[in-house]
Structure 1
Amino acid sequence: MAKVLDSENIPYLLMKSSAQKKQYSADVNRMNILLTPSSKGLEFDTVAIIDSSFVPKNNDEELVGQVRKLYVGMTRAQPALLLSDHRANDIGASLSAAS
């Protein structure tokens, strides 16, 4: 992803560490890339969640954890939210039904 953003001259901040997260500023016009759990406490004009139907293992505990992470990511969006999903599972079905 970074190569594509660089080739298109799109400014971005990859927030993989707490030091990188400290560089975040809502006043800077750039794409911010981070894991969903790292987004707690932040808000963005637009949030894109890629493969929102992904569940690492097919059990109830993993499903509950993934739904919680998805909720955190979805509630960071003020006002625009983009979700992508492609898996035939309970999360994907619920997202399709809600749209």
Structure 2
Amino acid sequence: MSQQEISVRIFKALGHPIRYKIVKFLYDGPKCVCKLNEDIEFSQANLSQHLKILKEAGILSSEKMGMNIHYRISSEEIKKIIDSVDKFVMSYSDNSK
């Protein structure tokens, strides 16, 4: 897979509102999938599908701890992408008034 294809895969994964919400929820640190299920009000199957897409794009990683699976943002670079988009949105919304 080329670098461009990987970049597109990352942007596609982040481009879905539920997946973006998941990443924002995990921004401050790892959380159990049970906490994600409480915050992201969708079926377990739906949530699992979104988590799978985020993992396949390299955005999230997971770790089994006892009976639970904890998800985390895989890299500080992903946080930088989120920060850059948030900064751009603030600037864009200020300039479009």
TM over 0.5: no
| Structure with a larger share of its residues in helix | 2
TM-score, with length taken from structure 2: 0.30
More strand by share: 1
